[in-house]
Structure formats: structure tokens, C-alpha cells
Amino acid sequence: MGVVKNVRNVVQNGMNKLTFVNPVAWGVLPGIIFAILVLTLLISVFKIPVTGTTDQKVCDENGKNCKTETKSNAINLVFYIVLPIVLGLAVGAGIYKLVFYIRNPKTGALLVTTGFFRQAITGK
């Protein structure tokens, strides 16, 4: 029982020394800003059509017997919804993790080193 209490005390002391990072300021807001930038880029540069139809030329394996098929552009709406959200989440999480490591360098070094050892042992 004494070993468990000592481990609990060491963990508690380590938790008291952590500098906590505001997840809204360093995770959510950068993610939202990046998602808005990606959405603006999609709308202004790539101009992916959302309404109407598109004619696409579809050929068989030999490159002969080509047909023109009409497909709806409604599926392109997924690019405008999913892509900014996924990229915003990834960037927000990365910025939050980076700021956490900067504010807690010893803990960051421990987490990175633990990840390296786990990769070395498991090969993943």
C-alpha cells in the first residue's frame, strides 16, 4: 500500500506543476480560423460547382466505346462541408499540442520520448 501511495504522491506533484493551456484559445479558435480560410480558398480559387449537372466522358478499359454520362454536382457539397472541418480539427489539435509542449517542456519531452520508445518496441 505504501508504494501505491508514493506513486499517487509523485503523480499529484507532477500534475500540480503543469501549466495548463486554454483549449478554446489555442485549439478551437485556430481550427475555426483555418477552416474558414480553407472554405474561402475552395470557394474563390477552385470554384467547385454545387448545383446543376456535369457531363463526364467515361471509357472502357481499352479507351474505346466512350460514353458521356451526366452526373449531379450535389455530391461536391461534401467538399465544402467536410474538408474545412477535418483540416480545421487537425490544425487546431496540432497547435494546441504544440503550445502545451512549449508551456510544459519536460512533460512534452517525456511524452515524445515515450512515443519513440513505444514505436521502437512495437515497430508501429
Q: Quote the pTM value.
A: 0.70
pLDDT of the residue at 1: 56
- Three-class DSSP category at 52: coil
Which position has the grid cell 466505346? 65
H or E element that contains 88: helix 77-103
DSSP-derived secondary structure letter, 72: E
Q: Is the dihedral of CA 105, 108, 114, 116 positive or negative?
A: negative
Distance, CA of 29 to CA of 36 (rounded, Å): 11
Distance of CA 52 to the CA centre of its chain: 31
pLDDT at 115 (0 to 100): 87
What tens-digit pLDDT sequence spans the chain (124 residues)? 566 667 667 666 666 678 888 999 999 999 999 999 999 998 888 887 777 787 888 888 777 788 888 888 788 888 888 999 999 999 999 999 999 999 988 888 888 888 898 889 988 7
**Cβ 18 vs Cβ 59: under 8 Å:** no
Spell out the domain ranges in the chain. Answer: 19-48+74-103
pLDDT at 32: 96
